[in-house]
């Protein structure tokens, strides 16, 4: 059992090693290797989760022969392990479900490069989840940025290249701010390991030194990560990026990449700065405000779209807003709700993207609503899965989306009246808006044009897509029905976090 503590380290290094292997393999072998590697990652993460739950505390693991504050470290508790498990599973399911689109959209000789990048992306995500060192965080954050740009730009059409350029530019702005922020942190605290930085910050907080640079630094770090994860008003890259990328990449980008940044932000807030640190208050209120604006703006823009892919993209912008709203509410309840929503969204968005892509495939590869008419009959499996995803997004009970909205409203109660009120109102408004655009899509895909007989097929041509989509839908329902154990796990993990 004690060997299990090596699992996080093994999963990161193994994923990096798989990337090297994929560079030497031909495309098809690279795909099989990648799927196997992601499955192993999921198993290792499950093992870590089991180990931490049995152990009941968080483990600090030295990367090398030197402990804190000199060497690198990773650290994991239940929350890290749970997040890693969900990330690894979603990555596995996106890759298996989207293999078909990779073959369609990626030039045949570059398929192995695609899977290589997927492996690197998995390694970077896990490293961001597990790391206990802020500079390691920066390095893997850059790997995440570059690999996500790579899986985007691999589709060789002009609009995708343009979308990738825009994506990279905004991400680089975010990275620059983040890098300057952590360097200022280092300048003031003299440490790079998160717990040591936290101690130094506590001392500084008592003596009142460096109050101004610290607030600026907090602003830089939060701002940088907010830009990278696509918080309003920096969501503008989303529709083009998700709309023009190959659907597999859209699923991974929206479901996982932005979540990786947010998880790092949560980690820095809790573990480095400390939740009750006064320098965090302003930053949190600003994030809260932009989160609310993002929810409304994303939903309103989603309604105006004519293409299902762009609609889902704008809905992503709104969901990022939800997560930042939870972070902005603060407190254990707010953070738990934010993390629960993070996991919910990570399992729901890839499902929506992949099933929408399947629906498009039976509708002449067109994302326009008019062409999607009756698509759910032409591919019943994908239609059903899309409906599941949409209902979770709207917040119908038994699906995870309902639970996370409930958690947000519970977290809002007991704050300042203004905050409570605005959260509840925004939740209500956004639920109505979500309903509007998702119901519209569902009516579209289930009604045939008059006088036309659809040829009804159970799965369309994409069985693998429907199968992995079903697993994601099942995960969604599990998160929705068994929310109490998951929530308890998140709360215990959060307590161990700092």
Partner 1 sequence: MRNLVYNYEEAVAVVLFGIGFVTLLFHRNLIKKIIGMNIMDTGVFLFLASMGYVKGGSAPIYAENADFYVNPVPAGLVLTGIVVSVSVTAIMLSLAVRLHQRYGTLNLDEIYRIAREKINER
Partner 2 sequence: MRIVDRIRRWLSESPDLLEDAGGIGETRDLPREVMRREQHEADRFLSEGAKSFDRKKFRTVYGILAAASAAILIGVLLTAVAALPRYGVENERMDEVADYYIDHALEDTGAVNIVSGMILDYRAFDTLGESFVLFTALNCVLILLRRDEPGEEGEDDYYDLTHDNILRKAGLVMVPSVILFGFYVMLNGHLSPGGGFSGGAVVGAGLILTAAAFGNAVSARIVTEKTFRILSGTALGFYCLAKSYSFYTGANGIESVVPLGTPGSIFSAGLILPLDIAVGIVVSLTMYGIYRMFRKGSLT
- Return the range that interacts with partner 1 (CB under 8 A); candidates 170-178, 293-301, 312-320, 442-450: 170-178
Does 172 contact partner 1 by CB under 8 A?
Answer: yes
Q: Pick from 38, 80, 133, 491: which binds partner 2 (CB under 8 A)?
A: 133
Q: Does 135 bind partner 1 (CB under 8 A)?
A: yes
Binder of residue 303, out of partner 1, partner 2, none (CB less than 5 to 8 A by kind): partner 2
User: For the window 81-120, what string marks contact with partner 1 as x by the rule CB under 8 A?
Assistant: ----------------------------------------
Q: Residue from 23, 24, 108, 159 that binds partner 1 (CB under 8 A)?
A: 159
Specify the residue, 128 or 333, whose C-beta has the smaller distance to partner 1.
128
Nearer of residues 303 and 481 to partner 2, judged by Cβ: 303
Task: By CB under 8 A, name the one of 78, 99, 192, 251 that touches partner 1.
Answer: 192
Residue whose pair of structure tokens reads 């599941």 in the numeric block: 388
Residue 16 interacts with partner 2 (CB under 8 A): yes or no: yes
Beta partners for residue 76, in sequence order: 59
369 binds, among partner 2, partner 1, none (CB under 5 to 8 A by kind): partner 2
Instruction: Give 219 or 331: the residue with its C-beta nearer to partner 2.
Output: 219
Q: Out of 267, 377, 444, 492, name the contact with partner 2 by CB under 8 A.
A: 444
User: From the list 36, 56, 57, 70, which residue makes contact with partner 2 (rule: CB under 8 A)?
Assistant: 70
Question: 419: which 2 tokens?
Answer: 């905050």
Task: Please tell me the distance from the alpha carbon of residue 398 to that of residue 484, in angstroms, as a whole number.
Answer: 13
Q: Does 154 bind partner 2 (CB under 8 A)?
A: yes
Tell me which residues touch partner 1 (CB under 8 A).
135, 138-139, 142, 146, 149-150, 153, 157-159, 161-162, 164-165, 168-169, 172-173, 176-177, 179-180, 183, 186-187, 192
């Amino acid at each position: 059992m004690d060997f299990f503590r090596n699992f996080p380290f093994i999963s990161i290094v193994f994923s990096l090693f798989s990337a090297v292997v994929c560079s030497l393999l031909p495309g098809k072998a690279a795909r099989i290797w990648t799927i196997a590697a992601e499955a192993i990652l999921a198993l290792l993460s499950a093992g870590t989760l089991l180990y931490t739950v049995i152990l009941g505390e968080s483990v600090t693991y030295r990367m090398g022969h030197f402990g804190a504050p000199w060497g690198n470290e990773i650290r994991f508790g239940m929350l890290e392990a749970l997040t890693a498990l969900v990330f690894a599973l979603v990555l596995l399911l996106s890759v298996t479900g989207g293999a078909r689109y990779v073959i369609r959209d990626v030039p045949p000789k570059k398929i192995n490069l695609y899977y290589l990048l997927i492996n690197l992306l998995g390694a970077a995500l896990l490293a961001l989840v597990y790391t206990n060192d802020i500079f390691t965080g920066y390095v893997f954050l850059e790997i995440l940025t570059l690999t996500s740009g790579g899986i985007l730009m691999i589709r060789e059409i002009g609009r995708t290249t343009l979308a990738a350029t825009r994506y990279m530019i905004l991400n680089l702005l975010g990275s620059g701010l983040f890098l300057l922020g952590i360097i200022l942190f280092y300048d003031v605290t003299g440490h790079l390991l998160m717990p040591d930085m936290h101690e130094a910050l506590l001392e500084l907080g008592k003596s009142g030194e460096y109050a101004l640079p610290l607030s600026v630094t907090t602003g830089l770090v939060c701002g940088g990560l907010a830009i990278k994860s696509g918080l309003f008003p920096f969501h503008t890259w989303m529709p083009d990026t998700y709309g023009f990328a190959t659907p597999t990449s859209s699923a991974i980008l929206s479901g996982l990449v932005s979540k990786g940044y947010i998880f790092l932000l949560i980690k820095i807030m809790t573990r480095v700065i400390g939740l009750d640190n006064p320098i965090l208050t302003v930053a949190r209120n600003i994030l809260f405000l932009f989160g609310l604006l993002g929810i409304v703006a994303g939903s309103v823009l989603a309604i105006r779209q004519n293409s299902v892919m762009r609609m889902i993209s704008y809905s992503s912008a709104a969901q990022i807003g939800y997560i930042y709203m939870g972070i902005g509410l603060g407190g254990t309840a707010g953070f738990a709700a934010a993390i629960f929503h993070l996991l919910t969204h990570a399992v729901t968005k890839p499902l929506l993207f992949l099933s929408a892509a399947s629906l498009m495939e039976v509708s002449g590869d067109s994302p326009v609503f008019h062409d999607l008419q009756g698509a759910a009959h032409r591919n019943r499996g994908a239609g059903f899965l899309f409906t599941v995803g949409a209902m979770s997004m709207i917040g119908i009970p038994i699906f995870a989306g309902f639970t996370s909205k409930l958690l947000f409203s519970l977290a809002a109660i007991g704050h300042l009246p203004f905050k409570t009120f605005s959260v509840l109102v925004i939740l209500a408004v956004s639920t109505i808006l979500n309903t509007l655009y998702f119901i519209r899509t569902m009516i579209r895909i289930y009604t045939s044009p008059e006088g036309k007989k659809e040829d009804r097929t159970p799965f369309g041509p994409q069985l693998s897509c429907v199968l992995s989509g079903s697993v994601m839908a099942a995960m969604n329902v599990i998160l929705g029905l068994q929310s109490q154990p998951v929530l308890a796990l998140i709360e215990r993990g959060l307590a161990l976090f700092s």
